[in-house]
Structure 1
Amino acid sequence: MSLLKVNNLGKSFGGVKAVDGISFELKAGELLALIGPNGAGKSTTFNMVNGQLRADQGSIVFDGQELVGRKPRAIWRMGVGRTFQIAETFASLTVVENVQMALLSHDGRLFSMWRRASDHKRDEALALLEQVGMRAQADRPCSELAYGDVKRVELAIAMANSPKLLLMDEPTAGMAPKERNALMALTKQLVIDRGMAVLFTEHSMDVVFAYADRMIVLARGRLIAQGKPLEIRDHPKVQEVYFGSGKTFEKIAEKAAALHVGAAA
């Protein structure tokens, strides 16, 4: 049974159809990559699922409930987490305090000067940091962290509402190859351990081919292909959109296989 069902989704800006009647589904325990060249409609689709944009047509059903018309915060409370292309943390707070703030928000409690976040669910926050490999740095200010570690903290924050669905917008943007591999291997393990679903956009095609269970491909607002990585790799329309004629994903797929070897080592 699908956790997320998107049907005939559409969004226009003026006379331009940014997303034109796309449909796809996502199951629990699955990583689904949303890819396409610049201007394909990826960000618009992503932001409609998250509630930042309202669809002009179609439906987005999550766990049996319609998301169209709901605000991002309401969608978050329903069990949809999100990370952003540029990691968003409170630089002046410690690592553990950042996660505690997310737990406060999930519980509907307000932070105040006379009730410190450090008094709230520290053990639960530390457990989340343990899952992303940041427990040892819990009391460091986020301002002192390397960028790859900030991304891990953001992932812990996104897990604070125990999401059934995690939306990841360009999760490896700005990261070195080794950091990209480590973050996506961690995400894959969380999907397995928690049985949640992940929808992610990504420009690093080696990451996509290495970690996605399935892929959906957009071009000019329309869905042109969907399937497993090997199916997408050999899809002539996808190759044409990305490369024109005469080139394929073969070398990228080989690099993706090498990433898996490195993650398993």
Structure 2
Amino acid sequence: MTALLQVKNLGKSFGGVKAVDGITFELAAGELLALIGPNGAGKSTTFNMVNGQLRADQGSIRFDGHELVGQKPRSIWRLGVGRTFQIAETFASLTVAENVQMALLSHDARLYSMWRRAADHKRDKALALLEQVGMKAQADRPCSELAYGDVKRVELAIAMANDPKLLLMDEPTAGMAPKERNSLMALTKELVIQRGLAVLFTEHSMDVVFAYADRMIVLARGRLIAQGKPLEIRDDPKVQAVYFGTGKTFEKAQEHA
């Protein structure tokens, strides 16, 4: 399978401390790849370098033939990289549909102004995106009225507005109840299959990781210590020791997730 995203020897330091230390991994279209590790492992730094919010000190990030190191987040977004955040980001005063239409306006490089309301721009496409995430029936409700799980679905529709090939999801199920988070990740898996998306996601809930990830990469103290399929990672002694500490297993972590 040809890699859509190729990360090679990626590194980033802050004040002499190596937050990410020479990591290498690949991600193919149609694949869900989980990036996991304990607090301080370098997950967020890696994510932010792929997205362009941080510039790498060393290494390369190749996406669909383009080098991403040195590019701004907006330029990376326009190349076909979508992103959702740990805390959902929507305009609470706008309707569900208008939130998606604002993203479509941005993608088309058109300015929001008093002469051209977001509500007039590509409503049909916005509704189609909302239908994919199960939110079309609530298109005309203000986002401020939605349950948190539904806000996360709207955010997913917004992230799909640029027809991405790669979707970055930072703690997608944070703050959600088990039923909500499984519903959101099942929806994401469906989009991966239907659209051939590549998805890189960070996640603390091990039940989500093992249920939906095709492969996993594990960081500890900025270094990549393991990568492979979920069952391989579960049984890796080094991962057990470094990620969870002495005496704790993935099974126990899942019981308390």
TM-score calculated relative to the size of structure 1? 0.95
After superposing on structure 2, the runs of 4+ consecutive aligned residues of structure 1 that deviate more than 2 Å are 242-247, 250-256
- How far does residue 254 in structure 1 lie from its aligned partner after superposition? 7.8
- In the other structure, the counterpart of 2:194 is 193
Q: Distance in 1 between matches of 2:195 and 2:237?
A: 35
The change in CA–CA distance for 1:209 and 1:252 in structure 2 (over 3 A counts) is farther
CA–CA separation in structure 2 for the residues paired with 1:111 and 1:123: 18
Once residues 13 and 246 of structure 1 are traced to their aligned partners in structure 2, the CA distance between those partners, rounded to angstroms, is 32
1:124 has 2:125 as partner: yes
- Cα distance in 1 for partners of 2:87, 2:245 equals 30
1:103-146 Cα deviation digits (max 9, x unpaired):
00000101111211111100000000000000000000000000
Q: Please tell me whether the aligned partners of residues 233 and 253 of structure 1 are also in contact (alpha carbons under 8 angstroms).
A: no
Aligned length: 256
Alignment of 1:15-26 (within 5 A): 15-26=16-27
Query: Where does structure 2 lack aligned partners over 5 or more consecutive residues?
Result: none
Supply the RMSD in Å over aligned alpha carbons.
1.2
Structure 1: give runs of 5+ residues left out of the alignment.
257-265
SS at match of 2:134: coil
Q: Deviations over 1:64-101 (max 9, x none)?
A: 11000000000000000000000000000000000000
Distance 1:53 1:255 in 2: 33
Deviation per CA, 1:178-223: give whole Å up to 9, x if none. 0000000000000000001000001111100110000000000000
The answer as to whether partners of 2:220 and 2:243 remain within 8 angstroms in 1 is no
Q: CA deviation at 1:255?
A: 9.1
| Equivalent residue runs for 1:92-171 within 5 Å | 92-171=93-172
The corresponding residue for 1:31 is 32
Matched to 1:148, the amino acid is G
Distance, in Å, in 1 between the alignment partners of 2:248 and 2:205 is 17
| Cα distance in structure 1, aligned partners of 2:242 and 2:38 | 7
**Aligned amino acid, residue 79 of structure 1:** G
Q: Distance in 2 between matches of 1:254 and 1:183?
A: 20
The question of whether the paired residues in 2 share the 8 Å contact of 1:234 and 1:248 is answered with: no
Report the CA distance between 1:240 and its aligned residue.
0.3
In the alignment, which residue of structure 2 is the partner of 1:84?
85
The 2-side partners of 1:66 and 1:211 are apart by 29
Q: For the residues of structure 1 that align with 2:222 and 2:9, how far apart are their CA atoms?
A: 12
One-letter amino acid matched to 1:109: R
Aligned runs of 1:216-235 on 2, under 5 Å?
216-235=217-236
Match of residue 49 from structure 1:
50
Deviation at 1:246, TM superposition (A): 2.9
Indicate yes or no: 2:48 matched with 1:66. no
* Secondary structure in structure 2 of the residue aligned to 1:105: helix
Conserved in 2, the CA contact under 8 Å of 1:163 and 1:196?
yes
